[in-house]
Amino acid sequence: MNIFLKDAYGKNSLTAKAILTDPVLFLAFGFGSGLAKKAPGTCGTLAAIPLYLLIAPMGNLVYCLITVIATIAGIWICDIAAEKLGEHDFGGIVWDEVAGYLITMLFIPFGWQNLLLGFVLFRFFDILKPWPIKVADRQVKGGFGIMLDDVLAGVMANIVLLFAINSTLLD
C-alpha cells in the first residue's frame, strides 16, 4: 500500500502511471504533484515554485508571456484532463494552481519573503474562495471554469501582495 498515491483517479479510474505518461495529464496534474493523496492543490502550488524560480529572472515581459501562455493553455489542458478523468474539476487537476501562483507573482520583485507570502496569499484565496471566486467556481464549467477561480485567486493575491510590498507592511 502506497501512502502517497491512490489506486485510481477520477470516475474513469486512471492509474498514476497513465497520468504520468500522458503529456496532457502530466501537465494537468502539475508534473505529478496532483497525485498527492492529501492537499493536491497545495502540492500543485508548491510545484509552481520551481517554474517561477526558472522564469522570474527572465524579466517581466518573458514572465508575463509565459504566464499568459500557461493560463490560456490551461483552459485546454484542464478541459482535456477532466474529460479523460470523467470528472469536472477533479482535485488532482492542479494546472490551475500552477497558473494561479504565476499570476500571483506577476510584477513582484524576487525575494524569498515575497515568494512565501505569495504562496500563502494564493492558497488563502484559493481555499477560502471569497466573492467573486466562489461564484466563478460554482457557475462556470469546463476547462475555463476550472481555470477561472484560480486566475481570480491569483489576481486577488497579487493585489494584496503588491499592496503589502508598496506599503510599510514588508519593511
Q: Residue 137's pLDDT is what?
A: 84
Q: What residue numbers bound the domain in which 166 lies?
A: 16-170
**What mean pLDDT do residues 91-104 have?**
97
CA 145 from chain centre, in angstroms, equals 13
Residue 60 domain-assigned (yes or no):
yes
Residues 75-88: pLDDT tens digits? 999 999 999 999 98
The whole-number average pLDDT for the span 95-115 is: 97
Q: Which pLDDT value is given to residue 168?
A: 63
Q: Is residue 108 part of a domain?
A: yes
Q: Is residue 118 part of a domain?
A: yes
Question: Residues 16-55: pLDDT tens digits?
Answer: 999 999 999 999 999 999 999 899 999 999 999 999 999 9
Residue 8 resides in a domain: no
Would you say residue 1 has pLDDT above 70? no
- Cα separation, 118 vs 35, in Å, equals 23
Q: Report if residue 21 sits inside a domain.
A: yes
Confidence of residue 3 (pLDDT cuts 50, 70, 90): very low
Q: Which three cell numbers stand for residue 74?
A: 490551461
Sign for the CA dihedral angle at 154, 155, 156, 162 comes to positive
Residue 171 is predicted with a pLDDT of: 54
Residue 43 belongs to a domain: yes
Q: For residue 85, is it within any domain? A: yes
C-alpha distances in angstroms, 53 versus 110, 130, 143?
9, 28, 26
Does the structure show a pLDDT above 60 at 65?
yes
Structural domain count of the chain = 1
